């Protein structure tokens, strides 16, 4: 089963500063690209890999040094305790959605195919995009499109959805697109639809809350000198990562001790986000929006 080419693969694994006998976490296993690259640098060490998508688990690499966890990375600490793996030497997280998930019409992630309004990364969870679109109130819909999709006319879109669902519920990605396109600027329809789908996906999978929990837990679970490497794909994620790495909180509020030292569990290894080189973007368009940041446990 082909997932996708891992973005910034060598750069992200290099930043982990792999110790051959260390314990590392791949919080977003996907097709196993980052996990395989970490395993290649280990001898007696091990990797604990998380993925909430059952299909990703079917891609498991056959290696006794790999432990697979079919759950959301927001439960990082619990599963590391379960496997007696605390503290760890490094945590890697390649956020967002895989090409494999996008290319499955029935999952409802893609603007290119017709499919059910699902968008669940974990099929065991209850909330779907269909429920969000058809049951959320206009105010709540407007807020999520504005915040998670960064859509300027979010209120107009929410109002249009509420009007349309009075007659018939909105069941498919095609029906959603037909309504949403009425709110897009001419020539910007594809970008607008991508923002609409992004907002729904984030809501369905609670991605922002899960990322916050991952960052806090990862910083707690790292050994001193251990590294946290995160690749984000949109500004909401990247801002959270940058703020937490800089300040230890999500608002970016810098607090210092009596001597002027910043009170945060991590210090930034990369002062600015690293982006994909032109050659990688040519081969993999998904990498265009990638932003890689690295921090180290104090």
Give the number of domains in the chain: 2
Regarding whether 190 and 59 lie in a shared domain, the answer is no
Strands 266-268 and 66-69: unpaired
Regarding whether 90 and 65 lie in a shared domain, the answer is yes
User: In Å, how far are 61, 214, 274 from 14, measured between CA atoms?
Assistant: 21, 21, 13
Inter-residue contact 45 to 16 (CB < 8 Å)? no
Regarding whether 121 and 190 lie in a shared domain, the answer is yes
User: In Å, how far are 121, 158, 196 from 142, measured between CA atoms?
Assistant: 23, 5, 11
Q: What is the pLDDT of residue 287?
A: 86
Helix/strand/coil for 38: helix
**Domain region containing 189:** 105-205
* The overall pTM is greater than 0.85: yes
Label residues 159-193 b or e (16+ Cβ within 10 Å = b). ebbbebbeeeebebbebbbebbeebbeeeebeebb
Regarding whether 231 and 175 lie in a shared domain, the answer is no
- State how far Cα 136 lies from the chain centre: 24
Q: Which of 159, 183, 205 is the last residue of a domain?
A: 205
**CATH number, position 87:** 3.40.50.150
Inter-residue contact 18 to 42 (CB < 8 Å)? yes
User: In Å, how far are 61, 83, 112, 222 from 32, measured between CA atoms?
Assistant: 7, 20, 25, 22
Q: What is the pLDDT of residue 2?
A: 45
Regarding whether 110 and 199 lie in a shared domain, the answer is yes
Inter-residue contact 80 to 59 (CB < 8 Å)? no
In a domain, 27, yes or no: yes
Q: What is the pLDDT of residue 1?
A: 45
Regarding whether 211 and 201 lie in a shared domain, the answer is no
In a domain, 4, yes or no: no
The pLDDT tens digits of the residues spanning 37-61 come to 999 999 999 999 999 998 888 889 9
291 forms beta bridges with 232
Q: Which among 10, 17, 35 has a CA at the least distance from the CA of 25?
A: 35
Report the number of secondary-structure helices (H) and strands (E) in the chain: 13, 7
Regarding whether 228 and 159 lie in a shared domain, the answer is no
Q: Which residues are CB-contacts of 33 (< 8 A; sequence separation ≥ 6)?
A: 3, 5, 6, 9
Q: What is the pLDDT of residue 99?
A: 66
To 5 degrees, how large is the angle CA 245–CA 249–CA 252? 75
The pLDDT tens digits of the residues spanning 103-142 come to 677 788 888 889 999 999 999 988 999 999 999 999 999 9
Q: What are the average pLDDT values for consecutive 10-residue runs of the chain, which has 298 residues? A: 72 98 97 96 98 89 97 98 98 84 77 92 93 98 98 98 96 97 95 96 97 98 98 96 98 94 95 93 85 98
For 129, half-sphere exposure in the C-beta direction (CA atoms, 13 angstrom radius) is 28
């Amino acid at each position: 089963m082909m997932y996708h080419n891992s973005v910034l693969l060598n750069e992200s694994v290099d930043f982990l500063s792999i110790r051959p006998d260390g314990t590392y976490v791949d919080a977003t296993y996907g097709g196993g690209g980052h996990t395989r690259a970490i395993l290649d640098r280990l001898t007696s060490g091990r990797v604990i890999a998380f993925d909430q998508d059952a299909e990703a688990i079917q891609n498991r690499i056959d290696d006794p040094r790999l432990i697979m966890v079919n759950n959301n990375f927001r439960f990082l600490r619990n599963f590391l305790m379960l496997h007696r793996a605390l503290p760890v030497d490094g945590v890697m997280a390649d956020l967002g959605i895989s090409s494999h998930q996008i290319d499955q019409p029935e999952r409802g992630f893609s603007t290119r195919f017709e499919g059910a309004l699902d968008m669940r990364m974990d099929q065991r969870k209850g909330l779907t995009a269909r429920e969000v679109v058809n049951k959320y109130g206009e105010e709540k819909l407007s807020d999520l499109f504005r915040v998670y999709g960064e859509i300027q006319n979010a209120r107009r879109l929410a109002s249009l959805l509420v009007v349309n669902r009075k007659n018939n519920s909105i069941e498919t990605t095609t029906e959603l697109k037909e309504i949403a396109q009425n709110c897009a600027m001419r020539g910007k329809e594809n970008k607008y639809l991508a923002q609409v789908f992004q907002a729904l996906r984030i809501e369905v999978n609670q991605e922002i809350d899960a990322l916050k929990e991952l960052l806090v837990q990862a910083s707690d679970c790292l050994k001193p000198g251990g590294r946290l490497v995160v690749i984000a794909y949109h500004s909401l994620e990247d801002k959270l990562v940058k703020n937490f790495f800089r300040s230890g909180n999500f608002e970016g509020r810098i607090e210092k001790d009596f001597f002027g030292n910043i009170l945060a569990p991590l210090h930034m290894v990369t002062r600015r986000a690293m982006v994909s080189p032109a050659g990688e973007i040519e081969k993999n368009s998904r990498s265009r929006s990638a932003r890689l940041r690295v921090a180290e446990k104090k």
